[in-house]
Every structure is written in structure tokens, then in C-alpha cells.
Amino acid sequence: MSDFNVRTANLTAINSLTKYPSIPTYHCLDPRNGGLLDETVAFSGPVHLTEKVDGTNGRIVSLPDGSYLIGSREELLYARGDLIGNPALGIVEALRPIADRLPPVDRDAVVVHYLEVYGGKVTAASKHYTESRAVGARLFDVVVLDDYAELLEWPVERISSWRESAGQPFLAESELLARAEAAGLPTVPRLDTVDAAELPTELEKTHRFLAERLPATTVALDGTPGRAEGIVLRSEDRSAIAKARFQDYERTLKRRRTGR
């Protein structure tokens, strides 16, 4: 039985341990101007394509003592039982009902559900998803930390480096979908699964690839579906993952055509 207690835990370390890592772009970014280069992230085998929703990253951190924390990408905003939560971007309001109905962790582990909170007044892109300021949340990843106790002994700087070096053990695609179904959580939409050999590598062809598979968002909350942000590409075991955003390709192709 775990002796973990959220009231005595190192919350700074838990925050760093459970943050979502940076995801690379499919075509690498040029550090000089933010444009896209010709080099791509390498994939092999089946590649799952999901819609990239333009909202804000939220997380529900389920802890071994039955408590939970809700956080944004960068900070913790709420702990189970708090009278007041940080209202930033409406994350707590959107995720608290979900956190309350998630089953408690059934073993000595930390489980983190990552959800995209969108619509409302979350971002300028909310208009593409709702005309009534409705708010939605879609699950896109889950990590299970069985060795959390050892990791929490590390300095925060080491935890951060581990996290950004793909240290977190994310669930594979099949496990993620099974967990989502069991919890009754909608996921970001699965658009297609293609063989890595079918992925385009040229910028213009990749832009067309995005447009063909995602002419508009598939997660509109009401009204006419608007512009989609892009697609996330992920291998079955999530060892490779990358994002491809319409805006990045449009800016880069325009710059190459105009020479600016």
C-alpha cells in the first residue's frame, strides 16, 4: 500500500513530472526564422493521424492516495477538495467534472490524462469550433508512472530533462483508446492510419495531404465547422510523434514563393 500523501508531496516535482513534453513539427523548424525545413521526423510502420485541436493543454493528475490535481501545460491549478481553483482559461471548470468521475488509481502509480480544452474564450481559434462559446475537452494522451516515487527524488532540473527527452511512458494507441472507452472520454478524432512509406516528405505535398484529410475541423461544438489547426502523426507505440499545422506550411510556402 502506498504511503503517498498529496499534502506532504513535493508539488513542484509533481508538476514537472506530469507536464506534457514539447512535440516536434513533422518538418523541422528553421531556428533562424521559424519556417519549415525539408527534413522530417522519421516514422516506420503504421502511423495514426489525429486532428490537432487548437485549444489549451490541460491535465488531470490522479494520485495514489485517491486525490487528484488539475493543471495547465505549465502549472497546477486545482487540487481535489479545494474551495477555489485558478480560473485560467477555464481549464478547471472544464476538467473538474471529468476528474470527479474518473476511477481512482487502482495501484501505486501516478496516472495523467492529457486533454485539449477548446472553444469558449480559450484561444482566438475558438470561433472555428463554436458560435455560442461552448467548451469541449478531448483526450489525446495518457501516461502511467509506476516509478513515480523514485522520480520524485530527482532534482527538478533532472526531471525536466528526462521529460523533454521522451522519458514519460505514454500509453500505446490501442491502450489509450481502451482506457478512453472505459472512462467514457472522447478522444481527439482519429482521421486515418497510413503506412509510413505513404507519408509525403515534400512541403507542398504535405500541405495538400493535410487539406485532403482535414478540410475543416471535425470537433465543432455547434454551428458551422471552421478551420482545423492541423494533424498529429503518431506511431502505434508512440515512440515517434509529430505535429503538422496548416499555418506553418502556408507561411513557409508563401515565403519560398515570394523570397521573403
Give the CATH number, domain containing residue 94. 3.30.470.30
- In whole angstroms, give the CA distance from residue 55 to residue 182: 24
pLDDT in tens, 213-222: 999 999 999 9
Place of cell 502506498: 2
pLDDT band for position 44 (cuts 50, 70, 90): very high
Its domain, for residue 170, covers: 11-258
Q: How many domains does the chain have?
A: 1
114 by DSSP, 3-state: which? strand
In this structure, is residue 46 part of a structural domain?
Answer: yes
Q: In this structure, is the dihedral angle defined by the CA atoms of residues 142, 39, 217 and 221, taken in order, positive or negative?
A: positive
Rg over CA atoms, the chain: 19
Query: Is 2 within the bounds of a domain?
Result: no
Q: Express each pLDDT in 79-137 by its tens digit.
A: 999 988 898 889 999 999 999 999 999 899 999 999 999 999 999 999 999 999 999 99
Res. 2: pLDDT tops 80: no
- How much is the pLDDT for 138? 98
pLDDT of residue 106: 86
